[in-house]
């Protein structure tokens, strides 16, 4: 076995770690408890840079935690924590004349045992459930009402009206997702470490298929032809639940940036925005910006808006007035008519011809700056 000189002992004092190169391969080198050890730097999960993680004493030894999503490896053996079978590549270390050498080949090969989650197979393989003739209409209600105290929601009522109309008039398949009934985690911001740390399906979903966003991804990305999102206006913005969902959709948009892959194909979106007072236009603007960035198409007049003006503090009259409104009855149908009209037109559009003029990694102004310890 050949050994390669990688650095001096002085460059790796006790209680430290560093990333070194072995040809094209990056190695995470550790010096803890007066012992030097070396394992592959690319995490077996998504190739996160292990050498940039934190070493701590746990289970039966010293473990490095991957900075991207938290997988752990024993720094002396490369093995995963007890109960997991993953094995990171382990290299032999020799110290001669204050120089550190590592074996050219691993003495224990890397082996990934963590299978892809079978519950997520449709998402991983992008098994779309739409077809040329499908008419699947998904309503997502983002209002946050207490399930212990059922009460009237203007945004959800208008959404229900739209879905019933679509079913009755067009024979559409309809589905309602109420975000408040799903338990899902907040986006944990993996993207801010590295664009490749934000994965499809979302890293959180991948680690926990029971997370409620799995249902949103399946319904929105694979099943729906038309999406209607309803929100109340809260402090001039869409609801907190809407934003919580939007952040978790970062992984959909990010596929464009890192893989040039548009997941949303020939889908139409419209919106229902209701509030006691005002700010419909700002909420609509934000929603339209966000959903076009995912790849949705809008019909003309793509939202229903309801508010009663800045001075309408007599909230007790809001629902009464809403229920009487001819505008609501008419527009909850018209946004469906318009969405279906546009859907029929775009169904024949060859998606391959649609450009996604989003910034790519190569467009970055700092593309020439080397961040050499990151693997990707
Ligand atoms: S935990 Fe290492 S890349 Fe995900």
Residue for token pair 């209701």: 274
Token representation of residue 33: 């408890």
- Binned at pLDDT 50, 70 and 90, residue 376 comes out as low
Pocket of ligand 1 (CB under 6 A): 43, 45-48, 66, 68-71
Ligand 1 atom nearest the C-alpha of 71 is 1
Q: Read off the pTM.
A: 0.89
**What separation in Å is there between the alpha carbon of 258 and the centre of ligand 1?**
17
- Closest Cα to atom 1 of ligand 1: 69
What does the pLDDT average to over 266-282? 94
Least confident of 62-71, 114-123, 278-287: 114-123
The architecture of the domain spanning 3-103 is: 3-layer Sandwich (2.102)
- Specify burial of residue 41 (Cβ count, 10 A radius: 0-12, 13-18, 19+): buried
Task: Write the pLDDT tens digit of every residue in 212-245.
Answer: 999 999 999 999 999 999 999 999 999 999 999 9
Give me the mean pLDDT over the 244-269 stretch.
Answer: 93
Residue 196 Cα to ligand 1 midpoint, Å, equals: 10
Sequence spans of domains, the chain: 3-103, 118-363
Could you report the per-residue pLDDT of 128-160, keeping only the tens digit for each?
999 999 999 999 999 998 888 889 999 999 999
Pocket test for ligand 1, best of 26, 28, 41, 43 (most atoms within 8 A of CB): 43
Spacing, Cα 216 to ligand 1 middle (Å): 24
Whole-angstrom distance, CA of residue 335 vs CA of residue 333: 6
Question: What's the rounded Cα separation, in Å, for the pair 262 and 252?
Answer: 8
Instruction: Name the CATH superfamily, with its identifier, for domain 118-363.
Output: Flavodoxin domain (3.40.50.360)
Q: How far is the CA of 251 from the centre of ligand 1 (A)?
A: 15
Please report which confidence band the pLDDT of residue 375 belongs to, taking 50, 70 and 90 as the band edges. low
**What pLDDT is stored for residue 109 in this prediction?**
97
First to last CA, the chain: 28
Ligand 1 atom closest to the Cα of residue 66 is: 2
pLDDT tens digit string along 104-127? 999 999 999 877 777 789 999 999
Same fold, 3-103 and 118-363: no
The sheet carrying 99-103 orders its strands as 3-8, 99-103, 93-96
Tens of pLDDT, residues 39-57: 999 999 999 999 999 999 9
Q: How far is the CA of 187 from the centre of ligand 1 (A)?
A: 16
21 pLDDT band, cuts 50/70/90, is: very high
């Amino acid at each position: 076995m050949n050994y390669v000189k990688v650095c001096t002992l002085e460059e790796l004092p006790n209680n430290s770690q560093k990333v070194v190169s072995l040809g094209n391969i990056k190695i995470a080198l550790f010096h803890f408890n007066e012992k030097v050890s070396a394992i592959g730097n690319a995490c077996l999960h998504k190739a996160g840079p292990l050498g940039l993680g934190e070493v701590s004493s746990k289970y039966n030894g010293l473990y490095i935690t991957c900075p991207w999503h938290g997988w752990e490896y024993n720094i002396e053996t490369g093995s995963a924590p007890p109960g997991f079978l993953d094995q990171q590549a382990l290299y032999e270390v020799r110290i001669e004349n204050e120089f550190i050498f590592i074996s050219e080949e691993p003495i224990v090969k890397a082996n990934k045992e963590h299978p892809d989650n079978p519950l997520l197979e449709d998402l991983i393989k992008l098994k779309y459930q739409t077809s040329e003739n499908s008419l699947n209409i998904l309503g997502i209600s983002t209002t946050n009402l207490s399930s212990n105290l059922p009460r009237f929601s203007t945004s959800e009522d208008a959404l229900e009206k739209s879905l019933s109309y679509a079913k009755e008039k067009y024979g559409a398949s309809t589905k309602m997702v109420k975000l408040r009934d799903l338990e899902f985690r907040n986006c944990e911001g993996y993207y801010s470490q590295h664009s490749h740390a934000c994965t499809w399906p979302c890293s959180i979903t991948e680690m926990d298929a029971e997370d409620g966003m799995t249902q949103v991804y399946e319904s929105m990305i694979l099943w729906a032809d038309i999406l209607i999102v309803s929100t109340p206006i809260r402090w001039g913005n869409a609801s907190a639940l809407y934003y919580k969902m939007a952040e978790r959709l970062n992984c959909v948009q990010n596929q464009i940036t890192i893989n040039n892959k548009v997941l949303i194909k020939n889908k139409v979106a419209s919106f229902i925005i209701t509030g006691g007072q005002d700010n419909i236009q700002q909420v609509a603007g934000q929603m339209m910006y966000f959903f076009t960035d995912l790849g949705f198409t809008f019909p003309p007049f793509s939202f229903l808006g309801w508010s009663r003006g800045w001075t309408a503090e007599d909230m007790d009259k809001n629902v009464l007035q809403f229920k009487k409104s001819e505008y609501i009855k008419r527009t909850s149908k018209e946004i469906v008519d318009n969405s279906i009209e546009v859907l029929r037109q775009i169904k024949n559009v060859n998606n391959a011809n649609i450009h996604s003029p989003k910034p790519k990694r190569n467009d970055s102004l700092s593309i020439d700056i080397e961040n050499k310890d990151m693997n990707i």
